[in-house]
Structure 1
Amino acid sequence: MRNLITLEDMIIKAVEELDEDRVMKLAARALNSGMEPLTLLDLIKEGVRRVGKLYENQKYFIADLIMAGLIFKEVLELEEMKIQFKRKDKKILGKLLVGTVKGDLHDIGKDIFKGLMEVNGFETIDLGVDVSEDLFIKNIIAYRPDIVGLSGVLTSTIESMKEIVDAMIEAGVRNDVKIILGGNHLTKESCDYIGADCYTNDASLGVKLCKKMLGKI
């Protein structure tokens, strides 16, 4: 019996292979056929996660990680995606400071989370990727956020996240904020080890957790 490859599988594979043209054609096809934008982003994220694994296994290079990020950003420019991330009102629920931690150049999950937080009424400050503990501390003091988001895809980022939280404790700012971690490799055990308030593998759930931490739901 012939194996059937689904559209979802094709999208993931195209991202994994960094085939930009194919990703865009498949993404447009998926949205035109009724796929939810967030479902499409989950597929893109899975492809990027595989790129990250290939990088960790030294089969891909930093340039490949950057290329995966560029593909993701191009998907976000599709009209259906812009509508998904369009803010519905001007009410501010809180302030988020977010960044991908030191040693990691991935920004896919971070950007999705940031976009959803903005749609849901959060002011956001994005520090970018490969952010050191010193830069986090400097900006926490400067911006006084309600929530700090630490993002990472690579398994090695667990130690980077812990270093940032430890630096926050040393600087005396840990108790002033809530900390949420984001990454598919995270577990309750790693969250406890790092010393964060919560973690998520899903951007939509992350928004709910942030609202809950601030008593907004």
Structure 2
Amino acid sequence: MTGEDIYLNALKEALLEMDYDKMKKAAEEAMAAGIDPLKAVTEALSAAMVIIGEKFQSGEYYLPELIVAGDVMKEGMKIIGPYMRGKNKEPGKKFVIAAVEGDNHDIGKNIVGTLLSARGFEVVDLGVDVPARRIVDAVKEQRPVILGLSALLTVTMPKMGEVIQALKEAGLRNSLKVIIGGTSVTPEFARKIGADHSSTDAAEGVEKCVQWASPGKGR
């Protein structure tokens, strides 16, 4: 195991154990040691959240555990975030993201926004519990190449479909890609509501967005 692996594993374990103090210590030590903040987020924190999401899906964890895990991750991101020096924003790489109406969970959304900003995207974050009409208005105003919709709970997932339908009615659907994210989203659900892609892994979702925004790749 390399020195880098030791720091990344410490971050991952702190999140899996949902330990605030361990997270603060692991994040501070990783940044002091010069660990790449992008790696810290994608290979440690995001990877741990995937495992936690799987436990939620299997019924081993419930919503309270997800909320605690999200808060512990935020503790780490407060320390790691300032080290993530974003690239200069590149023309044509605008991304609008929102947690749909009824959903107040923002950790996955925030991770995606942070990672995309570091990859040169201009990120417009509409926040949580965002009605379809406000999302459509933002698409009209901002003209993004990609729209990201987030929903942690299965009861709020249908709101994603309402947003896509509203985009169609406004004549905006064909002007952008739509990616949906959350612990319960599936490719089948994405196809059903007319989204272009679904992801339960922030790092994978970010790579798909980068692919879409690259000239000649995936648009």
Q: Secondary structure at the match of 2:98?
A: strand
- Tell me, yes or no, if the aligned pair for 2:136 and 2:167 is still in contact at 8 Å: yes
Q: Which residue of 2 aligns with 1:200?
A: 199
Q: Secondary structure at the match of 2:203?
A: helix
Q: Which residue of 2 aligns with 1:3?
A: none
Question: Within 1, Cα distance between the matches of 2:170 and 2:87?
Answer: 37
Question: Within 2, Cα distance between the matches of 1:190 and 1:206?
Answer: 16
TM-score (norm 1): 0.76
**Percent of aligned pairs with the same residue?**
32
Moved more, 38-47 or 137-146: 38-47
Q: Secondary structure at the match of 2:62?
A: helix
Q: Secondary structure at the match of 2:85?
A: coil
Unaligned runs of 5+ in 1: 1-5
Alpha-carbon distance, 1:122 to partner: 0.9
Q: Which residue of 1 aligns with 2:14?
A: 11
Question: Within 2, Cα distance between the matches of 1:8 and 1:76?
Answer: 11
- Tell me, yes or no, if the aligned pair for 2:98 and 2:125 is still in contact at 8 Å: yes
Alpha-carbon distance, 1:27 to partner: 4.6
User: Given the alignment of the two structures, is residue 20 of structure 1 paired with residue 20 of structure 2, yes or no?
Assistant: yes
Change (3 A) 1:72 1:92: farther
Question: Within 2, Cα distance between the matches of 1:149 and 1:9?
Answer: 26
- Tell me, yes or no, if the aligned pair for 2:46 and 2:202 is still in contact at 8 Å: no
Alpha-carbon distance, 1:110 to partner: 0.9
- Tell me, yes or no, if the aligned pair for 2:87 and 2:117 is still in contact at 8 Å: no
Q: Note the 1:1-217 alignment, pairs <5 A.
A: 10-15=13-18, 19-28=19-28, 36-37=39-40, 38-43=42-47, 45-46=49-50, 49=53, 54-55=62-63, 60=64, 65=67, 69-79=70-80, 81-83=81-83, 85-216=84-215, 217=217
Alpha-carbon distance, 1:204 to partner: 2.3
Q: Give the counterpart letter for 2:208 in structure 1.
A: L
Question: Within 1, Cα distance between the matches of 2:25 and 2:214?
Answer: 42
Q: Give the counterpart letter for 1:11 in structure 2.
A: A
Q: Secondary structure at the match of 1:110?
A: helix
Question: Within 2, Cα distance between the matches of 1:156 and 1:119?
Answer: 32
Unaligned runs of 5+ in 2: 1-8
Q: CA RMSD in A?
A: 3.1
- Tell me, yes or no, if the aligned pair for 1:92 and 1:121 is still in contact at 8 Å: no
1:65-124 residue CA offsets vs partner (Å, 9 max, x unmatched): 3x6544333211224x433x3113443341111011122211111111111111111111
Q: Give the counterpart letter for 2:44 in structure 1.
A: L
Alpha-carbon distance, 1:182 to partner: 1.4
Alpha-carbon distance, 1:13 to partner: 4.5
Q: Which residue of 1 aligns with 2:6?
A: none
Question: Within 1, Cα distance between the matches of 2:148 and 2:99?
Answer: 8
Change (3 A) 1:121 1:29: closer
Q: Secondary structure at the match of 2:101?
A: coil
Q: How many residues align?
A: 200
- Tell me, yes or no, if the aligned pair for 1:12 and 1:46 is still in contact at 8 Å: no
Question: Within 1, Cα distance between the matches of 2:107 and 2:26?
Answer: 18
Q: Secondary structure at the match of 1:179?
A: strand
TM-score (norm 2): 0.75
Question: Within 2, Cα distance between the matches of 1:119 and 1:9?
Answer: 21
